[in-house]
């Protein structure tokens, strides 16, 4: 990270971390209200088109590189009814294949595994080496003239960014680096490498809602007012005017409190203001009113002082050294990022990464992945990445106690999404409305969605009246 | 963080709506308005009794819903890390997270 110059080379004045340059980059999304047809949240026709035009064509995060550290280690990535094998074929090479035997189409691989030497179909025994070349065409004599067409497993495109392995099933897709655009710059500019983080927590919750419904519950912060009323804002920050969004091609970023920010909210701010600094501190740590606060603020002391120090201490402890090199902006981690269609790597030291995807071919069933990526020293081997903790559709998110306070927050969010899924079908006018500013990321998502789905000239699958602006803005 | 056992019943103040949400021993939540009205609710928002008949469903959940083990009551940006343990989790958290370690 860049450190601002110090005037005193003798060290009397310690260098202060510079404000991260990446956070100063602004690219506000054009204003305007957006009407989104509700059909896309539950009608099978949309799901089928999404499979063809998004899930078979878009770059998608599938796993972490350290989850398949040795040659032959492999994961399965599943989205909708698609399944892909992601395998390390060499110390510096990862490949991905559609998970199907080229003989009769059985899934070629049933489970993730370690150090595989081949993928052998458990139906009739055809086998391919992990590099995709044919190994054993059992009874090949009985398939005259077909060897060439089964000699190699079809490949997906693969790319890796900061330890996150992406695949794109489309062999003609643009390189991952082009799709990401300047996203990596924003993390390099943050001065810490997501590639060096430890995957400390990985929860995957199955939900009875469309993947876009649940994703959109995590695409804006405005809902905090009503959905998370315990997340009170310190009176010190009562002046804040909310959040701002910037768009950078296929991804977008929420940031708050930018000192360079000229793009102020058009309206009054929002957020529940705490009745005291002590209440703000207590609720920040989920200390309720009937238990003694672990920290008593002194007169005049502000919540932010305590939380900044605590966050800095936690980062410093995790890194095995101090965190003095980092600006407060990294500590408060007010950056939420979203890469189309479904990947949310938050900035700073928040640790949060989300992914949302359809589960099977039911448009009202989805999977939400939640990762916490802990800082870890560069010079120490990382612990094994956390295995996935799956939650069935009937399990409460609070069963994932490793999420800490976040589990209880998610319990509030997920209390909404089922009600949204139900309510969408009751909207006679056939669309929902997204606001100009606070819901800009939802608008942007649907603009990108329309582009990938081929709806630039209108959502031709929608039953909403054009007069109502089915896909109107 | 606190280490009480058993945990005290939870209570939160909703400043914007001038109400207090207090978990009750029977699993319901008592909501008290500054003007003196009270209402008792199920965690899912259903009203049981009292003059106060409406409340914030999410605050009811937060006060009366599931609790976490004390060892897991951390802020997400401050999840403990132990550089000297193979699992990376401090011992206290490790005990609370058996599934984490396979």
Q: Which residue of B has its CA nearest to A198?
A: B88
Q: Which residues contact B93 (CB under 8 A, 6 or more apart)?
A: A402, B71, B72, B80
- Cα A20 versus chain centre, distance: 22
Of the candidates A137, A145, A284, A171, the one whose C-alpha atom is nearest the C-alpha of residue B1 is A284
B96: its two tokens: 């609370």
Answer yes or no: is A185 within a domain: no
Q: Which residues contact A297 (CB under 8 A, 6 or more apart)?
A: A277, A278, A281, A303, A306
pTM equals: 0.93
Query: A84: domain CATH number?
Result: 2.102.10.10
The DSSP-derived string for A149-196 is: HHSB----EEEEETTEEEEES-TTPPPHHHHHTTHHHHHHTTTS-GGG
Domain encompassing residue A133: 60-172
Please identify, among A172, A206, A235, the residue that sits at the C-terminal boundary of a domain.
Answer: A172
Q: What is the pLDDT along chain A (473 residues), one digit of tens a residue?
A: 332 333 344 555 566 777 777 777 888 899 999 999 999 999 999 999 999 999 999 999 999 999 999 999 999 999 999 999 999 999 999 999 999 999 999 999 999 999 999 999 999 999 999 999 999 999 999 999 999 999 999 999 999 999 999 999 999 999 999 999 999 988 876 666 799 999 999 999 999 999 999 999 999 988 998 999 998 888 776 656 556 788 999 999 987 655 555 555 666 667 788 899 999 999 999 999 888 888 999 999 998 889 888 989 999 999 888 888 888 777 766 688 999 999 999 988 889 999 999 999 999 999 999 999 999 998 999 999 999 999 999 999 999 999 999 999 999 999 999 999 999 999 999 999 999 988 999 999 999 999 999 998 889 898 875 444 444 55
Subunit contact B72:A286, Cβ cutoff 8 A: no
Chain A CB contacts of B31 under 8 Å are: none
CATH number at A308 reads 3.90.380
Encoded tokens for A409: 């927050």
Contact B81 A274 (CB under 8 A): no
Domain-located, residue A350: yes
Q: Do A270 and A392 lie in a common domain?
A: yes
- Label the pairing between strands A134-136 and A127-129: antiparallel
B15 closest CB neighbour out of A200, A232, A286:
A232
Residue of A nearest to B87 (CA): A383
What number is the ipTM of this complex? Answer: 0.93
Asked, for residue A74, whether it belongs to a domain, the answer is yes
Q: DSSP string of A81-127?
A: TEEEEEEEEETTEEEEEES--TTT---S--S-BSS-SEEE-TTT--E
Residue A178 lies in a domain: no
- Tell me: do A140 and A200 sit in the same domain: no
Look at strands B47-50 and A118-120 and give their pairing: unpaired
The whole-angstrom distance between A373's CA and the closest CA on chain B is 9
The reply to whether A247 and A324 lie within a common domain is yes
**Is A250 in contact with A448 (CB distance < 8 Å)?**
yes
Q: Looking at the structure, tell me whether residues A38 and A79 fall in a common domain.
A: no
Mutation to test the B interface, candidates A67, A295, A401, most B Cβ within 10 Å: A401
Pairing of strands A164-168, A198-207: unpaired
How many structural domains is chain A composed of?
A: 2
For residue B10, the chain A residues in CB contact (below 8 A) are: 288, 290
CB proximity A468 to B under 8 Å: no
How far is residue A124's CA from residue A105's CA, in Å, rounded to a whole number?
11
Rounded distance between C-alpha atoms, residue A122 and residue A106, angstroms: 8
A109 in any annotated domain? yes
- CA-to-CA separations, A10 to A137, A326, B63, in angstroms, rounded: 72, 21, 54
Alpha carbon distance A421, A289 (integer Å): 34
């Amino acid at each position: 990270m860049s450190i601002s110059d110090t005037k005193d080379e003798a060290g009397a004045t310690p260098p202060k971390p510079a404000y991260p340059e990446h956070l100063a980059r602004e690219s506000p999304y054009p204003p305007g209200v957006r009407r989104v047809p509700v059909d896309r949240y539950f009608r099978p026709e949309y799901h089928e088109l999404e499979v063809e035009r998004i899930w078979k064509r878009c770059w998608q995060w599938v796993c972490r590189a350290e989850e398949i550290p040795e040659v032959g280690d492999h994961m399965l990535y599943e989205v909708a009814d698609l399944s892909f094998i992601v395998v390390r074929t060499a110390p510096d090479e990862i490949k991905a294949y559609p998970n199907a035997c080229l003989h009769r189409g059985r899934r070629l691989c049933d489970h993730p595994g370690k150090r595989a030497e081949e993928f052998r179909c458990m139906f009739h025994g055809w086998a391919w080496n992990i590099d995709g070349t044919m190994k054993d065409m059992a009874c090949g004599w009985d398939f005259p003239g077909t060897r060439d067409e089964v000699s190699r497993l079809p490949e997906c495109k693969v790319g890796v960014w900061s330890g996150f392995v992406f695949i794109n099933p489309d062999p003609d897709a643009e390189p991952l680096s082009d799709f990401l655009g300047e996203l990596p710059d924003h993390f390099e500019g943050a001065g810490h490498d997501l590639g060096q983080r430890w995957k400390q927590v990985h929860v995957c919750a199955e939900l009875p809602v469309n993947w876009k419904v649940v994703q959109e519950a995590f695409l804006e912060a405005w809902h905090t007012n009503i959905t998370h009323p315990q997340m009170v804002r310190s009176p010190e920050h009562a002046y804040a005017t909310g959040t701002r969004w910037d768009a950078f091609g296929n991804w977008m970023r929420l940031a708050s409190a930018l000192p360079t920010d000229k793009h102020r909210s058009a309206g009054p701010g929002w957020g529940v203001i705490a009745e005291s600094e002590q209440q703000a501190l207590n609720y920040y740590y989920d200390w309720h009113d009937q238990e003694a606060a672990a920290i008593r603020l002194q007169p005049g002391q502000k919540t932010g002082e305590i939380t900044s120090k605590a966050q800095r201490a936690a980062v410093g402890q995790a890194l095995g050294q101090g965190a003095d090199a980092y600006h407060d902006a990294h500590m408060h981690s007010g950056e939420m990022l979203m890469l189309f269609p479904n990947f949310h790597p938050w900035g700073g030291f928040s640790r949060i990464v989300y992914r949302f995807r359809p589960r099977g071919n039911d448009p009202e069933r989805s999977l939400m992945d939640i990762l916490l990526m802990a800082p870890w020293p560069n010079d120490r081997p990382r612990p094994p990445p956390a295995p996935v903790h799956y939650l069935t559709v009937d399990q409460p998110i609070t069963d994932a106690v490793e999420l800490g306070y976040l589990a209880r927050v998610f319990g509030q969010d997920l209390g909404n999404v089922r009600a949204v899924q139900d309510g969408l079908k009751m909207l006679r006018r056939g669309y929902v409305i997204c606001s100009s500013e606070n819901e800009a990321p939802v608008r942007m998502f649907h603009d990108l969605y329309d582009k990938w789905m081929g709806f630039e000239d209108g959502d031709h699958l929608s039953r909403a009246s054009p007069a109502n602006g089915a896909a109107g803005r | 963080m606190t280490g009480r056992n058993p945990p005290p019943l939870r209570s939160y103040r909703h400043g914007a709506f001038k109400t207090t949400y207090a978990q009750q021993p029977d699993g319901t939540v008592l909501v008290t308005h500054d003007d003196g009205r009270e209402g008792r609710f199920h965690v899912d928002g259903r009203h049981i009794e009292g003059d106060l008949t409406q409340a914030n469903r999410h605050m009811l959940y937060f006060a009366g819903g599931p609790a976490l083990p004390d060892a897991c009551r951390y802020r997400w940006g401050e999840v403990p890390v132990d550089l000297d343990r193979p699992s990376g989790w401090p011992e206290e958290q490790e005990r609370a997270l058996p599934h984490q370690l396979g």
